Amino acid sequence: MLFSLSALFTSPLLASFPNDLPKKVEVNKPQFEYPAKISVERVINDILVIPVEVHGNSWPLTDEAALYMANSGKVKMRGNIVIYGHNSPKIFGLLVKSKLGDTIIITTNLNEQLAYKIDAIKFVPPQDVSILTQDENAKITLYTCTGFWDSQRLVITGNKI
């Protein structure tokens, strides 16, 4: 799957963000609490999460952070919080080592932590967008490419604990 990178240029919005943010991602600072860092038990330790909006087939990407789909579920509310990123050692490359029952911790922009327990790990074709569906449960979905020539997507879901 090819991703549109047309919207990934320096934005004046970045001026209000901390200096450690990647400078090539257009950030739309949400007016609500959102995931700012993520950890996954045993495999990911406190990586940066940047809020972005996904429209149609335009998925912003960066090599510096995971990305929170700001038009997905909201923190502390019911819905599916979707965080995606490259399958690289710096971002989600070790997600494949996650196990059922592992804990996902997100730290919000207000420095609050929320925990989710992994309840499903699956591989789906790139066209399967059912994993992005919103429902009445408070859950999280982590999403990255995997397989030969990124032919599949690794999808990890967890329910809030």
Model pTM score: 0.80
Report if residue 40 sits inside a domain: yes
Q: Is the pLDDT of residue 25 over 50?
A: yes
Report if residue 47 sits inside a domain: yes
- Reported as a pLDDT band with limits 50, 70 and 90, residue 11 is very low
Report if residue 43 sits inside a domain: yes
Q: Each residue of 102-157: pLDDT tens digit?
A: 999 999 999 999 999 999 999 999 889 888 889 889 999 999 999 888 889 999 99
Report if residue 54 sits inside a domain: yes
CATH number for the domain including 127? Answer: 2.40.260.10
C-alpha count within 13 angstroms, C-beta hemisphere, residue 99? 3
**CA distance to 27, 84, 120, 134, per residue, from 125 (Å):** 28, 15, 16, 19
Instruction: Give dist(CA 22, CA 116) in Å, integer.
Output: 27
Buried (b) or exposed (e) across 57-66, using 16+ Cβ within 10 A? eebbbbebbb
Report if residue 7 sits inside a domain: no
- The parent domain of residue 137 ranges over 12-160
Tokens matching residue 149: 């020539």
Residues in CB range of 97: below 8 A, 6 or more apart:
42, 43
Tokens matching residue 136: 């009445």
Report if residue 90 sits inside a domain: yes
Mean pLDDT for the stretch of residues 59-72 = 92
Q: Report the domain count for the chain.
A: 1
